[in-house]
Structure 1
Amino acid sequence: MVTMSSSVSSFTIAPLTFFFTIFLCIPLFALSYCKNPPIIFNFGDSNSDTGGLVAGLGYSVKFPNGRSFFGRSTGRLSDGRLIIDFLCQSVNTSVLRPYLESIGSTFENGANFAIAGSATLPKNVPFALNIQLMQFIHFKDRSSQLSSTGIEGLIGYDRFDDALYMIDIGQNDIADSFAKEGLSYLQVVDKIPSILAEIDNAIKEIYDQGGRKFWVHNTGPLGCLPQKLALAKNISSIDLDSFG
């Protein structure tokens, strides 16, 4: 488990360093042993969006999304569950509700700020990583305030310090650099430190808010995304593995 010292002045992150927090009760076989499910806050893009895009912008994500598990569309850009869903299951807690979902949501086990299409840059646009952090700070303030008055279904101030903070973002920064900006491979590589710097800033901001447990995802190979394979033209068989 990753922990930070109490002195924020000693808290530094090398640009290419990723921090992973691993709970002892993460494996599925240990589900029944996780007696005190953790509170989880997630920030990211479509890889972990559990309905934020639909709730925030009213976009329609229809069937067959959700067909392999939920049996209905849930706003996930997937036919089933996401990594964040499997994590919640493995630690014996309910799936995270989108922060922007105003109907039927409870936030006793955390909240999901991830929105499909989000990136780290540019900042201050919906729903960049720094905007998601602003939403979290607002959520923390309001939840702490209302919880102190006895309102149920929210998280008290002292429980934010022990929560798990997950960040799964950066894929769109890289993909858009190729697809929309037309940058070369080397130009995109040169851009990566600025992307990591925003994730670095996010961790420091959460640390200042009391967070001490972090799980930061790396991004997967873009060329293997079904979307990219479907849009690509003239793919040679030598460029594909046995799974296509």
Structure 2
Amino acid sequence: MAVAISLLLVASLLGSSCGCHFPAIHNLGDSNSDTGSVSATFGRVPWPCGESFFGKPAGRYSDGRLIIVFIANELKLPFLSAYLDAIDSNFRHGANFAASGSTIQPANNKLFGTGFNPLSLVIQLLQFQQLKERTNELYDQAKNPDITDRLPRPEEFSKSLYILDCGQNDLHYGIITSTEDQVKAFIPTIINQFAAAVEGMNQAMKRTTEKLGLPHLSAYLDSIDTNFRHGANFATGGSTIQRLDARMFKIGYSPISLDIQLSQFEQFKERINELYKEGVSSNIKSKLPRPEDFSQALYTVDIGQNDLDCALKSMTEKQAIESVPGIINQFAQAVKRLHNQGARTFWIHNTGPIGCLPFEVLDYPQQHENVDQNGCLRSLNEIAHEFNRQLKDSVIQLRMQFPDAALTYVDIYLAKYSLISDAKHHGFVNPLGYCCGHHRDNLCWRKKTSNGTEISATPCSNPSAYISWDGIHYSHAANLWVANKVLDGLVSDPPTPITEACHRSLNL
């Protein structure tokens, strides 16, 4: 019988006793670490999200900070800007919300499946409304001139020229999916949607930007001038490892999947290299990572929960388990792409106990034998376990493939489940309860319209008493507890604190 002995050695070119200096963090993921991408792209995450820490909506699906923020704090790095949150770009003379492939019609699974952009006219209007709202907030807060100089003045919104150039894609979609008579018959509906979008916009000027002698308009989602000195956050709420298809879009997942986030990162890196070669001003450089920082940065990846949730919503549990190898393979390809871009230090979170999410418990038909001692659904957690087992195996294979890289596998499942199992001891109430919104009726992250009036969800009086903020996402207090559990490396493989995550593990 052959006996294999595996010794885990922590090594570094500088010696194992040295801590790591990470000049930056680059994060990819979903709503568990999204600090503003969905909010910037699809409309602001509404109140009461953000109430406990920020006192206002702050682009997070929680009442406060997320684990990624506590990671940055541990590494003595500042707030991690969302890559798509472009509010600090130069919008002094306007913003461009246009997006290739967009339509007047709101995107649906048929439009998406045909290849059109989900950033339809109504989404662009939501982005405009957020720009206006946040600009007013920044002026009210008396921000320094460096910020307000790059924003329109609040009084200028009513005096601006509003240009709308769309409709061609609506006709093209009709032509490739319908008869010509059907296209003509549908035109009044498209025009009505256009008219509804235009309503409320007063055009006070009649000349184009060029004629007015105004500078180039910044693309709203082009956030290269935001402060990325210490990294960027590409995570987006609702994102998946798998590239989105019509089935997933119909269920409601974000089109900004992991491969799209990787493309954003690759463009981000390429443009920074270009800017440095062009000799841009020190003011711009101060808000960008140095080209040499990319190979020294920490790359955190926290994604996969939505892939499992999508599978459970669209197939049997057996089929969901059978889909896991394909998902893990796509994840491994993503890590390889990052490695090809120079990434060498990875901090990879597994997925949490999805069978303990309050909304999953409420959605799923419960049988006594399928409920564990904490009230969680065994079968769903078993799927999460299988996902995590294959993810860990993949990380081990990646270590062998890339001996020059340090890959830390972080058992978020263990940390979260231990909190749920001993919730009362740690000061939390019912671990399967949640603070904000109502299941299927008034979701915390989505405003409800009643008799023409928008209504925000009502939060509980003490969010810090709940593990779950909204039935899906963890509260500020729970995120802090979990972060403290994982940052010291006790639930990681290798058992390395995040401050020493650059040290490579060697299996001999």
Instruction: Report the CA distance shift for 1:71/1:191 in structure 2 as closer, same or farther (over 3 A).
Output: same
| Letter matched to residue 310 of structure 2 | D
With the length of structure 1 as denominator, give the TM-score of the two structures.
0.78
In the other structure, the counterpart of 1:48 is: 33
In the other structure, the counterpart of 1:209 is: 341
Contact 1:67 1:79 (8 Å CA) reproduced? yes
CA drift at 1:202:
0.8
Instruction: Report the CA distance shift for 1:57/1:2 in structure 2 as closer, same or farther (over 3 A).
Output: farther
The alignment status of 1:223 with 2:355, answered yes or no, reads yes
In the other structure, the counterpart of 2:56 is: 72
CA drift at 1:147:
3.1
Distance 1:194 1:2 in 2: 31
- Following TM superposition, where does structure 1 have runs of at least 4 consecutive aligned residues deviating by more than 3 angstroms? 1-4, 229-236
State the SS of the aligned residue for 2:27: strand
Distance 2:10 2:255 in 1: 30
Q: Give the aligned length.
A: 214
In the other structure, the counterpart of 1:115 is: 236
In the other structure, the counterpart of 2:257 is: 128
Contact 1:51 1:74 (8 Å CA) reproduced? yes
Instruction: Report the CA distance shift for 1:136/1:235 in structure 2 as closer, same or farther (over 3 A).
Output: same
With the length of structure 2 as denominator, give the TM-score of the two structures.
0.39
| Letter matched to residue 209 of structure 1 | Q
Instruction: Report the CA distance shift for 1:199/1:80 in structure 2 as closer, same or farther (over 3 A).
Output: same
Distance 1:77 1:46 in 2: 6
CA drift at 1:186:
2.0
The alignment status of 1:106 with 2:221, answered yes or no, reads no
Q: How does 1:167-186 map to 2 (within 5 A)?
A: 167-179=301-313, 181=314, 183-186=315-318
| Letter matched to residue 227 of structure 1 | F
CA drift at 1:122:
2.8
CA drift at 1:231:
4.3
Distance 2:10 2:55 in 1: 37
1:157-214: per-residue Cα shift (whole Å, max 9, x none)? 21111111111111111011011x1x22221111111111111001110111111000
The alignment status of 1:143 with 2:272, answered yes or no, reads yes
Q: How does 1:87-106 map to 2 (within 5 A)?
A: 87-104=71-88, 105-106=226-227
Distance 1:115 1:190 in 2: 26
CA drift at 1:235:
7.9
Instruction: Report the CA distance shift for 1:2/1:116 in structure 2 as closer, same or farther (over 3 A).
Output: farther
State the SS of the aligned residue for 1:215: strand
In the other structure, the counterpart of 1:164 is: 298
| Letter matched to residue 336 of structure 2 | K
Distance 1:235 1:46 in 2: 30
State the SS of the aligned residue for 1:216: strand
- Structure showing greater radius of gyration is 2
